[in-house]
Structure 1
Amino acid sequence: MSDQDGSSLNKIEQLDKEHVFGTWSYQSEVQPTQIIDSDGVRFTDADGQEFIDFSGQLMCSNLGHSAEHVTEAISDQADETPYVAPNFTTEARARLGEKLAEVTPGNLSKTFFSTSGTEAVEAAIKIAKFYTGKDKIISRYRSYHGATYGSISVTGDPRRLAAEPGIPGAIKAPDPYAYGSTMDPMESLDYIDEMLMLEGDTVAAILVEPIVGSNGILVPPEEYLPRLKEIAHDHGALLICDEVMAGFGRTGEWFGSDVFGVQPDIMTMAKGLTGAYQPLGATIVTPEIAEHFEDNMLTHGHTYAGHPIACAAGLATIETYQEQNLIERASDIGDYLTDQLDDLATAHPSIGDTRGVGLFQGIELSKRSDERVPFGEREDKLAKGGTVVDEVAQTAYEEGAYVANMINTLIIAPPLTITEAEIDEAIDALDYALEVSDAAMED
């Protein structure tokens, strides 16, 4: 019998399949796997098989699965005050706001707390529109900013299509994607500059991931983001940087913006903010933007804005990054990871490109070694069935390494605590798995 009928699932997995929606999926294809334990950079399924978490789950488990300071902070806050309405405060919320002003670029200083990355982006969109009095947001085609209505509207990822027409004023621009685009990365900036000119004085902000995450780990040229900020400001628009995936040490810097020496006007974050120990999003702005709302109402809010337990987790997470020197460590061990991926690329002709920064890396596959012919296309995100890239990821999983994949790219984003020996173990699994794509190449 087919696995799709649930015959291979245990009781818990069957209950989950029957009663819980799987995300971004045809429900007939959902096959949940029960996880019963996790420790360090590893997790264990109900059959007792252990896996190296080589993608940090959804690129969010920056601290791995054994961050004791964070779990203790969660427990202590739950004992002290598990919840208060947003018009009250707690020491955890106030201290976390102060800490974010400390670690974010430049003079970003005041934060709105939500519960997820998509909500952080929703807040950023609204704040930009309220502050500028303008209606349009320019984002890029190879991007993901969230699943709620505003965030999916500014997302370029093809998963947005089912939600369209979306919110008014969402405009897409080309990407800095040297390997898979017809346009040079810096030429794409000229295009955006012209877009702003042709739109007139109607654009509130340009919204970008400094390093694109789930749409391919796209690292722009060093001068790209500084020039993009200049272009935005030349036209009276803000720069919003979505740091939900690249933030909190993954790049070997606190944030992806720091890699390029840029302070955005608004920054969004989630995932690594708590290392995924609690759901927490944040939107931080400059003092100038914050000042605007002293006498103009911020018409935005959530029941769980600044949830005490989530904020306690966030504060403890940042303290862990600092106390264990994990940001610098991610840079150093990221160099080791880069070397190992380069060796893989030499050994496997189906690797068309490797790219990334620190512990935020991608392997893009190709059917041909002399030109880019992807195994996975954008439309595959909306199709039933799997691709060769899915098969490679599944084979690596069977060999003990969990590797997320999106469209045509394997995403390598392990916890910042990973060791060289653990990297070697996961690379061995990938080395074996890539034989699948090598064998599927065109002659």
Structure 2
Amino acid sequence: MAEEPPLSEERSEVERLDKKYVFGTWSFQSEVDPTEVVGGEGVRFTDGSGDEFIDFSGQLMCSNLGHSADAVADAIAKQAQEGAYFAPGFATEARARLGEKLAEVTPGTLSKTFFSTSGTEAVEAAIKIARMYTGKQKIVSRYRSYHGATAGSISVTGDPRRLKAEPGIPGAIKAPDPYAYGSTLDPMESLEYIDEMLMLEGDTVAAILVEPIVGSNGILVPPEEYLPRLKEIAHDHGALLICDEVMAGFGRTGEWFGCDVFDVTPDIMTMAKGLSGAYAPLGATIVTPEIADHFEDELFCHGHTYAGHPVACAAGLAAVETYQEENLIDHASEVGDSLGDRLEELADAHPSVGDTRGVGLFRGIELTRDPDERVPFGEREDKISTGSTVVDDVAAAAADEGVYVANMINTLIIAPPLPITEPDIDEAVAALDTALEVSDAAMDR
């Protein structure tokens, strides 16, 4: 048996077993040092030592309902008792009702859904559907993007995590992003680059795949006219527009979906995370009637054992109903404006804060070594390198103050559960105010 890896002092039995027997994700295993969690209530969760944390990132930007959505938990228990699993060839009320509900809340005419168990599977389905529908193979995505970890979705991902999986699937090509703070290209100029890319590729591109608001690669919000123009470019070249709403969807932006912020309906949309409020593994890929009709007489050559799992769909239906009944989308918009103001105050107080950006409860704080020259603390490749970064150290300092915040390269990702209140925000921002002293002190190192 392999030698047991070292742990921090005074770790619990659960932490010891987890370290020994479970892979930590996206990590050098020697650096994995897990913290036991034992429960949650509202926008807070508790570790094995009894310490409580404000969940200022909704775990991995997925706990949109917080940690005590009783209606969702009850729906899971009820479905598990009535019938935990039936093969996808059978119709269940949970799956049928959730399909109907998604046709109601998604934009435009999007109406027919394939259910899966995660965001990466939802993207895999979108890629295959686009290829089957158009008869073309290439997928254009962007460099600052994350679309999932499986073979196809990591291939269309742009961030450095794809490098360990290359070569990926054929036909995945990358374009620049609408990154106003750190790119040499103006966001709208990057669109014309994409337009020329598709012209030069000829009639070979099945779809353009984008996060309407980029998530873990920095919370990048494009100009208002960006997404409408991108859809126009796609259609001009006979390609589809796929919007990956896995992270931005279900109220995170103060609208149901990120593309709603820009009044755009994509041809295909992917969903997960907030779809069930993270109460069950659930993904979805929804398409327009034109695409759905194509498969009336053509083989829909895709499926999973757990496609439309009844328990997961019951969770999803209860989650969407909770968003509606508790008016959480409007609430996210209202408190999101206040959150944006508070983050601007942090930027004014801390020279290491280069930029704050976002919409609703989907925001980022980008740290910089030199605000005038916009010199980052770290590089993109740090994501796949060993050792901690300055932004890791800031997140650790926030945890010491009782706030959990996720981070990626140079950006703190602020995406709390939608029921968060302004007093909760005040408390979390005060903790970040203290934690950012770490990055301020690192500017001269």
Give the structure-2-normalised TM-score: 0.98
Write the letter of the residue equivalent to 2:88: P
Quote how far apart the aligned CAs of 1:5 are. Answer: 1.1
Q: In the aligned structure 1, how far is the partner of 2:84 from the partner of 2:378?
A: 45
- Residue 300 (structure 2) pairs with residue 321 (structure 1): no
Q: Which residue of 1 aligns with 2:7?
A: 6
Judged with a 3 Å threshold, the aligned counterparts in structure 2 of structure 1 residues 365 and 204 are, in CA distance, closer, same or farther, namely same
Q: In the aligned structure 2, how far is the partner of 1:235 from the partner of 1:429?
A: 49
Q: Secondary structure at the match of 1:5?
A: coil
2:5/2:20 contact within 8 Å kept:
no
Q: In the aligned structure 1, how far is the partner of 2:436 from the partner of 2:7?
A: 28
- Residue 82 (structure 2) pairs with residue 43 (structure 1): no
Q: In the aligned structure 2, how far is the partner of 1:37 from the partner of 1:245?
A: 23
The range that moved more, 368-377 or 354-363, is 368-377
Give the structure-1-normalised TM-score: 0.99
Write the letter of the residue equivalent to 1:6: L
Q: Secondary structure at the match of 2:436?
A: helix
Q: In the aligned structure 2, how far is the partner of 1:159 from the partner of 1:135?
A: 23
Q: Secondary structure at the match of 2:364?
A: strand
Quote how far apart the aligned CAs of 1:369 are. Answer: 2.5
1:286-325 superposed matches below 5 A: 286-325=288-327
Q: In the aligned structure 1, how far is the partner of 2:5 from the partner of 2:88?
A: 44
1:118-133 superposed matches below 5 A: 118-133=120-135
1:27-426 superposed matches below 5 A: 27-426=29-428
Deviations 1:16-67 (A, max 9, x none): 1110000001110011111011100000001110000000000000000010
1:4/1:31 contact within 8 Å kept:
no
Quote how far apart the aligned CAs of 1:7 are. Answer: 4.3
Quote how far apart the aligned CAs of 1:278 are. Answer: 0.2
Q: Secondary structure at the match of 2:182?
A: coil
Quote how far apart the aligned CAs of 1:376 are. Answer: 2.0
1:117/1:270 contact within 8 Å kept:
yes
Q: Secondary structure at the match of 1:258?
A: helix
Deviations 1:174-220 (A, max 9, x none): 00001010100000000000000000000000000000000000000
The range that moved more, 234-243 or 10-19, is 10-19
Q: In the aligned structure 2, how far is the partner of 1:273 from the partner of 1:369?
A: 37
1:139/1:172 contact within 8 Å kept:
yes
Quote how far apart the aligned CAs of 1:442 are. Answer: 3.0
Write the letter of the residue equivalent to 1:339: D
Q: In the aligned structure 2, how far is the partner of 1:143 from the partner of 1:227?
A: 19
2:207/2:239 contact within 8 Å kept:
yes
Q: In the aligned structure 2, how far is the partner of 1:7 from the partner of 1:322?
A: 44
1:119/1:148 contact within 8 Å kept:
yes
Q: In the aligned structure 1, how far is the partner of 2:343 from the partner of 2:328?
A: 21
2:5/2:19 contact within 8 Å kept:
no
Q: In the aligned structure 2, how far is the partner of 1:321 from the partner of 1:243?
A: 16
1:352/1:366 contact within 8 Å kept:
yes
Structure 1: give runs of 5+ residues left out of the alignment: none
Deviations 1:331-370 (A, max 9, x none): 0000010110011111001000000000000000011121
Write the letter of the residue equivalent to 1:343: E
The range that moved more, 73-82 or 281-290, is 73-82
Runs of 4+ in 1 over 2 A off after TM superposition: none
Q: In the aligned structure 2, how far is the partner of 1:242 from the partner of 1:329?
A: 23
Q: In the aligned structure 1, how far is the partner of 2:184 from the partner of 2:16?
A: 46
Q: CA RMSD in A?
A: 1.0
Write the letter of the residue equivalent to 1:32: P
